């Protein structure tokens, strides 16, 4: 619907206006209102026009001075156009009524030329054409006409009434239905154009506001034409409140010649309001050369953050941390103190070294530290350094380019350090990396940059390193097996995770949790463990720690078909079906290795290997260890 307001230029025109609207082919899409002109009253009282329009008004149709005033208010207005024929009709009426010798015709500039060609038909009267400009000069024009012997005037309502006050006769130039219809058509056209333009501007504004940086468009004089939301927020500039500005109000150091000449500036780093940004400027070419420039800029920190998201998205393989400190099940004071220390470590960006036996939950701590740190929105990348041979581990950590080595993936591959940018990388079993990789890792930590295999380009990274080991790395340094300078950089903050043997309160707590909340992939009848069975669990040393305890619970749920598992069921699940005569009471009561514990561990390994027919893979699974852990422990105990 198009809402039109018509200011009637004189009384008696209402019928013509209504007929023009009601006969219009688009009448069902038009809504109109007719109001009185305020021009005569404003002239009489020497006060400004006081038209008030509804916010729903799309366009106003008016004549002469009313149209001029409304346009000055920046309201869309269509002026009702006169034709030379309308002027001739009014002149004829004037001659018929008053038979004057000299007639002054007041008409807008657009009608003057057509009227001048038509008045030549009048031989008995002198016709003077006078261009209407504004109210301020009208009275002067009328006085001049009176002084020049004009008997009558032809024009609009204000012209006629003002002339009569000076003693001259006057005749209105009346409007026909054709005049009104043409004005309606012009009004419809301009509203449709305006709406289309507003829609395009709205779309452009949406594109600009939802871009990832600031956008400013200026004319060749530096006046700001468009500025998007990001730029307004960055400069603290509200277009609605502050009004128009020049680009130098925002960027005082920008060269004026650069704007005038339409210079091209690409990816220039500059500091504005204490913030480092990337700055771009390109000219806008018009018919007469440079008609302005478009400036775009973006915070470097935003680019880095986006880069991190892109890296993570491209290599989306689940590089996120699932666990939080609230997921760690414990009542042990030692473990609670360990968690509290880890929480403090989360607040800083320093590298962390986790020390603990296999199966104690080192990666769970690493993920929890990441999730409570400022890097929580970045990737969490974990890798077991003992699980891969040196060459493969190197390519995984640092990445490679196309053709770097035989079998390299086409297009190359980003390394885990690149993927972990703005996040955390967890290097498990760090003690097993080779001397060569220790050197490369040291450089990454010191320089905060990596070079892909087969490449010569440096890539900057921002990564927090959390490493883990189940061995005393300083002992390895003493034996020359680990670089001390690397360890100094990894061991900024150290967290020792207690083994399950030092967490008496947690053995039954965890067992009950695993049985009640298991996700072993089958339905179990076991609901709880008998008191005798619980005593066996409390007496066992759990060399495989929580991993071994979870595997025990899974075996128990498989092998026991009773709601309450008794001592026999527990023994069967602990030792794979054979009752191994081990003195379960020989449980260490303090931290640190002991002869008794080592002997017990060696015996358990030997018995499990016998039970599994010598299969190291099966034995590792029964013990709840990884194969690399079993091989290492066999080597430590001299088991071939």
Domain carrying residue 169 = 84-174
Same domain, 532 and 614: yes
Instruction: Please tell me the total count of domains within the chain.
Output: 5
Mean pLDDT value across residues 219-247 = 80
Per-residue pLDDT tens for 566-584? 988 998 888 654 434 444 4
Does residue 507 lie in a domain region? no
Same domain, 341 and 406: yes
Same domain, 479 and 583: no
Least confident of 34-43, 53-62, 550-559: 34-43
Task: Tell me how far apart the alpha carbons of residues 180 and 174 are, in angstroms, rounded to a whole number.
Answer: 11
Burial of 399 (0-12, 13-18, 19+ CB in 10 A): buried
Does residue 509 lie in a domain region? no
Per-residue pLDDT tens for 333-346? 999 999 999 999 99
Per-residue pLDDT tens for 260-273? 888 888 888 888 88
Per-residue pLDDT tens for 604-630? 788 778 767 778 877 777 776 777 788
Task: Tell me how far apart the alpha carbons of residues 546 and 625 are, in angstroms, rounded to a whole number.
Answer: 10
Residue 411 has pLDDT above 80, yes or no: no
Q: If you search the block for the tokens 């690409």, which residue do you land on?
A: 266
Mean pLDDT value across residues 25-45 = 79
Q: Is 580 helix (H, G, I), strand (E, B) or coil?
A: coil
Per-residue pLDDT tens for 20-30? 999 999 999 99
Q: Is the pTM of this model over 0.75?
A: no
Give the domain CATH number at 339. Answer: 3.40.50.300
pLDDT of residue 549: 92
pLDDT of residue 274: 83
Q: Is 100 helix (H, G, I), strand (E, B) or coil?
A: coil
Same domain, 419 and 556: no
Does residue 285 lie in a domain region? yes
Per-residue pLDDT tens for 302-317? 777 766 665 555 445 5
Residue 168 has pLDDT above 90, yes or no: yes
pLDDT of residue 523: 80
Same domain, 481 and 593: no
Same domain, 382 and 483: yes
Per-residue confidence at 400, pLDDT binned at 50, 70, 90? confident
pLDDT of residue 22: 93
Does residue 616 lie in a domain region? yes
Per-residue pLDDT tens for 148-167? 999 999 998 889 988 998 99
pLDDT of residue 186: 93
Same domain, 109 and 76: no
Q: CB count, 10 Å around CB of 460?
A: 11
Does residue 287 lie in a domain region? yes
Task: Tell me how far apart the alpha carbons of residues 93 and 485 are, in angstroms, rounded to a whole number.
Answer: 110
Query: Which of the listed residues 153, 174, 195 is the one where a domain comes to its end?
Result: 174
Per-residue confidence at 82, pLDDT binned at 50, 70, 90? confident
Q: CA angle at residue 454 from 451 to 457, to 5 degrees? A: 40
Same domain, 332 and 441: yes
Same domain, 359 and 467: yes
Instruction: Name the residue among 50, 74, 54, 71 with its Cα closest to residue 3.
Output: 54
Does residue 340 lie in a domain region? yes
pLDDT of residue 580: 43
Q: 413-414 and 59-62 as β-strands: parallel, antiparallel, unpaired?
A: unpaired
Q: 380-384 and 528-529 as β-strands: parallel, antiparallel, unpaired?
A: unpaired
Same domain, 343 and 448: yes
CB 542 within 8 Å of CB 534: no
**Rg of the Cα atoms in the chain:** 45
pLDDT of residue 83: 86
Give the domain CATH number at 249. Answer: 3.30.450.20
DSSP 302-330: HHHHHHHHHHHHHT-S--S----GGG---
Residue 383 has pLDDT above 50, yes or no: yes
Same domain, 147 and 235: no
Residues near 207 by Cβ (< 8 Å), separated by ≥ 6? none
**Greater model confidence, 592 or 70:** 70
Does residue 515 lie in a domain region? no
Note the Cα 157 to chain centre separation in Å: 60
Task: Tell me how far CA of residue 630 lies from CA of 267, 306, 583, 601, 635, in angstroms.
Answer: 55, 43, 22, 11, 9
Mean pLDDT value across residues 58-64 = 90
Per-residue pLDDT tens for 419-459? 888 899 999 999 999 898 999 899 989 988 888 887 777 88
Same domain, 365 and 399: yes
Residue 593 has pLDDT above 50, yes or no: no
Mean of pLDDT over the chain: 84
Residue 179 has pLDDT above 80, yes or no: yes
Per-residue pLDDT tens for 479-524? 999 999 999 999 999 999 999 989 888 999 999 999 888 767 778 8
Does residue 203 lie in a domain region? no
């Amino acid at each position: 619907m198009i809402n039109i307001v018509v200011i009637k230029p004189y009384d008696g025109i209402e019928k013509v206006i209504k007929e023009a609207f009601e006969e219009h082919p688009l009448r069902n899409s038009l809504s109109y209102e007719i109001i009185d002109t305020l021009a005569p009253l404003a002239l009489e009282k020497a006060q400004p026009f006081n038209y008030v329009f509804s916010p729903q008004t799309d366009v106003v149709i008016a004549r002469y001075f009313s149209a001029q005033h409304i346009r000055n208010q920046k309201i869309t207005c269509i002026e009702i156009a006169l034709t030379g024929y309308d002027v001739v009709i009014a002149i004829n009426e004037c001659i018929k009524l008053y038979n004057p010798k000299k007639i002054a015709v007041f008409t807008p500039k657009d009608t003057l030329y057509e009227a001048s060609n038509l008045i030549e038909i009048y031989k008995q009267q002198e016709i003077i054409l006078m261009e209407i400009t504004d109210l301020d000069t009208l009275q002067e024009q009328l006085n001049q006409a009176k002084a020049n012997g004009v008997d009558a005037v032809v024009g609009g309502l204000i012209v006629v009434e003002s002339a009569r006050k000076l003693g001259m006769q006057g005749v209105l130039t009346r409007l026909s239905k054709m005049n009104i219809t043409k004005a309606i058509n012009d009004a419809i056209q301009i509203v449709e154009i305006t709406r289309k333009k507003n829609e395009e501007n709205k779309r452009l504004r949406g594109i600009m506001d939802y871009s990832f940086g600031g956008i400013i468009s200026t004319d060749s004089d530096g006046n700001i034409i468009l500025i998007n939301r990001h730029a307004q927020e960055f400069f603290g500039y509200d277009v609605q409140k502050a009004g128009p500005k020049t680009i130098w109000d925002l960027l005082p150091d920008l060269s004026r010649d650069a704007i005038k000449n339409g210079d091209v500036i690409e990816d220039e780093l500059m500091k504005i309001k204490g913030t480092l940004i990337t700055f771009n400027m390109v000219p806008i070419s018009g018919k007469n050369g440079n008609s302005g420039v478009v400036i775009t800029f973006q915070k470097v920190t935003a680019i880095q953050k986006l880069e991190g998201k892109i890296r993570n998205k491209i290599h989306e393989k689940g590089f996120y941390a699932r666990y939080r400190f609230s997921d760690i099940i414990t009542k042990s004071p030692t473990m609670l103190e360990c968690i509290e220390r880890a929480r403090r470590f989360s607040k800083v960006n320093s590298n962390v070294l986790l020390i603990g036996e296999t199966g104690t939950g080192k990666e769970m701590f690493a993920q929890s530290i990441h999730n409570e740190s400022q890097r929580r929105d970045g990737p969490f990348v974990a890798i077991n350094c003992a699980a891969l041979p040196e060459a493969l581990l190197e390519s995984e950590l640092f990445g490679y380019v196309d053709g770097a080595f035989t079998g390299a993936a086409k297009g190359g591959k980003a390394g885990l350090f690149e993927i972990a940018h703005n996040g955390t990388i967890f290097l498990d079993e760090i003690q097993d990396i080779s001397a060569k990789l220790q050197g490369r890792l040291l450089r990454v930590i010191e320089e905060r940059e990596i070079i892909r295999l087969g490449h010569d380009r440096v890539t900057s990274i921002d990564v927090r390193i959390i490493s883990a080991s189940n061995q005393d790395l300083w002992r390895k340094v003493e034996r020359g097996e680990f670089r001390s300078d690397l360890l100094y950089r990894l061991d900024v903050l150290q967290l020792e995770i207690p083994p399950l043997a030092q967490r008496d309160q947690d053995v039954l707590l965890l067992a009950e949790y695993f049985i009640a909340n298991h996700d072993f992939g089958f339905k179990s009848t076991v609901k709880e463990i008998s008191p005798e069975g619980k005593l066996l669990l409390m007496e066992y040393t759990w060399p495989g720690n929580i991993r071994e305890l979870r595997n025990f619970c899974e075996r128990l749920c498989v092998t026991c078909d009773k709601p309450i598992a008794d001592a026999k069921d527990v023994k069967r699940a602990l030792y794979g079906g054979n009752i191994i005569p081990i003195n379960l009471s020989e449980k260490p009561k303090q931290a640190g290795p002991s002869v008794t514990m080592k002997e017990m561990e060696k015996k358990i390994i030997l018995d499990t290997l016998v039970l599994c027919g010598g299969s190291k893979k099966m034995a590792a699974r029964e013990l709840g260890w990884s194969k690399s852990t079993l091989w290492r422990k066999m080597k430590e105990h001299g088991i071939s």
